[in-house]
Amino acid sequence: MLDRKDLHLTLLVALLAATLSAAPARKAVSIKGMKFDPASLEVAVGDSVRWTNGDDRDHTVAAADGSFKSGNLRSGDTFEHKFTKPGKFAYACSYHPRMKGTVVVKE
């Protein structure tokens, strides 16, 4: 049988494990060679995506539904967006519309 101290420690460890497993994640998308890599990404509600422009040209990250837009990203700049609801979010570069990507957000 667990004494009071052991019980508290066991509960603390279980709580910490649950908290860490439910912690939001940050996923990365590179912008290089006039494309988004990866072009399609799956994340959970609450996760963030960070886009990093590794190209020698300026780019943007703009959602088709208007839910997020980076503004101008020069080489080396980043843009991050936290996804708070499930769905499929298509996006593109405003300057180069053939550059397209998708973020699928799951519950």
In CATH, what number is assigned to the domain containing residue 90?
Answer: 2.60.40.420
Domain that holds residue 44: 24-106
17-75 pLDDT, tens digit per residue, is 554 556 789 999 999 999 999 999 999 999 999 999 999 999 999 999 999 999 999 99
In a domain, 72, yes or no: yes
What is the structure's pLDDT at 2? 60
13 assigned to some structural domain: no
Determine the pLDDT at residue 18.
Answer: 52
Q: What share of the chain is helix, strand, coil (3-state, %, to 5)?
A: 15, 40, 40
pLDDT, residue 10, reads 59
Inside any domain, residue 8: no
Is residue 63 in a domain?
A: yes
In a domain, 57, yes or no: yes
Residue 4 lies in a domain: no
Query: Does 16 score more than 60 pLDDT?
Result: no
> How confident is the model at residue 21, as a pLDDT?
53
**What pLDDT, on the 0 to 100 scale, is given for residue 46?**
96
